[in-house]
Amino acid sequence: MIDNVLIVGGGTAGWMTATYLKASFGDRVSVTLVESKRVGTIGVGEATFSTIRHFFDYLGLRETDWMPRCNATYKLGIRFEDWRYPGHHFYHPFERLRVVDGFTLADWWLADPSDQPFDRRCYVIPALCDARRSPKHFDGELFERSLAGRDHQGRSTMSEQDTQFPYAFHFDADLLAAFLAEHGTARGVRHVVDDVVDVGRDERGWVSHVRTQEHGDLTAGLYVDCTGFRGMIIDKVLGEPFMSYQDYLPNNRAVALRVPADIERQGIRPYTTATAMDAGWIWRIPLFGRDGMGYVYAEEFCDRDEAEQTLRAFAGPASDGLEANHITMRIGRHRDSWVANCVAIGLASGFVEPLESTGIFFIQHGVEQLVKHFPDGQWSSELREAYNARVARVLDGVREFLTLHYRCAARNDTPYWKAAKDRDLPEGMAERLRVWQARLPDGENVWPYFHGFEPYSYCTMLLGLGGVRPDQPRPALRLMDGRRAAAEFVKVQEQARRLVESLPSQYDYFAHMRK
């Protein structure tokens, strides 16, 4: 059996990997993590997918255990500002579309759009975002449970299969890495703080050891590369080819700031904001006590100084004197993330820019799949190939979903946005776009492999972005009785109103938690 794993690199990727492996295998597998004090982390990946709850649940961590330590807040979705035209916004929530008589509310909305925006008419969560509400009551009950009926014992009749889990998290990535380091070392992860000076290979070309400056040679059966964009092992030692996504996606640079926020006076937004700019877009991630802000841009249309000035102007006086973090992003993935006896996880494996908050999702997916495909001394090629296929499909699927954002945004007022419409499309996407102009996306006409996004997300983005959408509703709806759909639209509005009235604000909830 492979009973010894060495993780090279810390940060969020390294410590998520270390703690997950330790939770999976206990003392049956020795886990060592080596990281340098002198090598910094990107530290801006602060917004997540709703699937992240599975990671914390697997580690046995309650929200009250880690959220206050990491200045974490809830995320109900993403607010897209100015992607259609300046002043317009819409929400991409963690909420599936309801179905009436076999058709989603999005289909029914197309048949009778009214004056109310699509997202507010079809979803409850946008109203909670506007009102800056927490998804939980003070007693910890999730808002969606209050929408469900009750059985004779008073238990909710709604299961997790009935609806998407309605929130994810914002957190300080550096604080989370430190928290997980404490959690992992307390459970047996060996932590080596040292500089890696060399990586050795055996006669097969596989990794034989990692040489450190003070601790000498460290050896393992399996090596995990969590060294970020540097790819210390997967790139520099194993030379695995990298497949760029830049033909499809425009952005390759970012500049980030950590901006103090007066949350007691201003409250806390329960959503990430993505605001379209002349040469990219700006993220705003609200934490407890500060906002993470960053401008993602294409160097072809904006230089470093201009990007920083744009971000500081957007952030306002609160950004004065703050140090900016400039990041060169490598957009794409390695042909294989598992090569020989090394698995790359996180940025070392691949990255598809920060839009839609997929960075930490890729880490979680990578380590979950590593556990499912964990090798023994036979080093089954089938396990390795299956792992590589699943990781590649997730990254390629997200590439297509993000390509949709730029291709389908109605905004077309700068050279950047004009050029974004002329970039190549991933294989098969042109046909899918043609289909989406005739009918809304469904399970039969989106990227066919798991990649974290469901058909409702595609519907939401097409209807919100406004550049590509069906020319007319499905003909069948003109022949159907729409009274049940009309009643469901009214129900959505009533439920949203009731929840806004009953749920605490996001600030009040976390102030209460911290007591």
H or E segment to which residue 173 belongs = helix 173-186
| Structure letter (DSSP) for residue 221 | S
Catalytic hit among 75, 136, 236, 372: 75
How many CB atoms sit inside 10 A of residue 380's CB? Answer: 11
**Token code pair at residue 463:** 């209807």
* Contact present, 445 and 462 (Cβ < 8 Å): no
**Token code pair at residue 192:** 């080596």
| Structure letter (DSSP) for residue 426 | -
* Spatial CB neighbours of 266, under 8 Å, sequence gap ≥ 6: none
* Contact present, 331 and 346 (Cβ < 8 Å): no
CA distance 382 to 391: 14
Sheet containing strand 325-328, edge to edge, reads: 89-93, 77-81, 272-277, 280-286, 290-297, 253-260, 325-328
Is 220 in a helix, a strand, or coil? coil
75 flagged as catalytic:
yes
Q: What is the number of residues in the chain? A: 515
**Token code pair at residue 155:** 């238990």
Nearest to 459 by CA among 436, 429, 427: 436
Helix 429-436 vs helix 381-408: angle between axes, to the nearest 10 degrees? Answer: 50
- The region that residue 340 occupies, defined by phi over 0 for left and psi between -120 and 50 for alpha, beta otherwise, is left
**HSE (side-chain half, CA atoms, 13 Å) at 432:** 24
**Token code pair at residue 273:** 């904001």
Catalytic residue positions, numbered: 75
